[in-house]
Amino acid sequence: MKNRPNDGPGTNILLLGTDSRAGLSKSERRRFSTGSRGCNCSDTMMLVHLSAKDDRVSVVGLPRDSRAVIPAYRDEASGQSRPAHPSKINAAYAEGGPGLAAHTVEQMTKVRIDHYLELDFRRFIDGVDEAGGVRVCTPRRLKDFATRLDLKPGTHTLSGGRSLQYVRSRHVDHSADFGRIQRQQRYLVGVLSKLSADRTFADPVRTAKVARAMLGSARVDQGFTVDQLVALAATLRRLKPSATEFTTVPIRGFGPPQDGLGATLEWDGPKAAKLFGALAEDRAVTGRTSKVVPADPPRLGHQAAFRGDKVTCD
């Protein structure tokens, strides 16, 4: 891909959660209410920045309905070239796979993407189960008619299938994708807590089993190898929750419907540029002593940046 952002300090990872049901049995689809078909889109997109000193992780949620311009590319299957064109950001994966998704995010954020991690439903479930589940907590009941998630207030250790319901739910309240992104970020805090608290993850052989389950038969041309994932896990498990920070790209509002696109979310250009500029320059997006606690549920136009220790389970 041409016109990539210049090298900068730290490591940037595009986390892609796709809606592929491949490999799920009929009983699993019924039990976890996945439906039978997907759009071959990236339902989840997060930009993860690991600082050059390996002492901070910053995670920015990218709403799937964000208006994007997909860069010009050559279709590998047909050999035909397609010019740059407007679309929703999650369509980049459907058109050209993770490579085009990463290039689209690079062009929109001016942040270089070093790796991507692509997880479909099967690999997500298998990875969580291999890790022994992930603990999440909620101060209120979370109930979604579409995914059939139903969590009472309190702390829960979720298996792979129940975790999938948790991270996919977007009908819990009126916050739609913004609430889902925030729950996904809370889930990542749970994953990081699992890495640091479970001593078995100090064993690279144990961690490699989880990595293999997550990667499955994924392409690794711009992604991760098992060894790279194991090394990343070893770095992340040394970080305290206070060394992790989370936010969602600033949103100006909904743009007018367009033919073939429908309504799209418009980023707040100046605020988004400031946020991604901080990542590109390896700067934190929250203060070291920040006490911000994210609103639950979040509100459109109020994308707070918060530290992971503000949402950890007691």
Q: What is the mean pLDDT of residues 206-233?
A: 83
Q: What is the mean pLDDT of residues 105-116?
A: 95
Taking alpha carbons only, the member of 164, 222, 194 closest to residue 14 is: 222
pLDDT of 220 > 50? The answer is no
- Ramachandran sector of residue 301 (left: φ over 0; alpha: ψ -120 to 50; beta: rest): left
CB atoms closer than 10 angstroms to residue 170: 19
Q: How far is CA 242 from CA 137, 179, 239, 250, 267, in A?
A: 17, 22, 8, 22, 27
* Separation between Cα atoms, residue 153 and residue 196, nearest integer Å: 25
pLDDT of 276 > 70? The answer is yes
Q: What is the mean pLDDT of residues 281-288?
A: 94
Q: How far is CA 280 from CA 39, 88, 109, 164, 267, in A?
A: 32, 23, 9, 31, 18
The three-state secondary structure class of 223 is: coil
Q: What is the pTM of this model?
A: 0.94
Q: What is the pLDDT of residue 2?
A: 54
Q: pLDDT tens-digit profile of 164-218?
A: 999 999 999 989 899 999 999 999 999 999 999 998 899 999 999 999 999 886 5
Of the pLDDT bands very low, low, confident and very high (cuts 50, 70, 90), residue 7 is: confident
Q: Is the dihedral of CA 267, 170, 232, 223 positive or negative?
A: negative
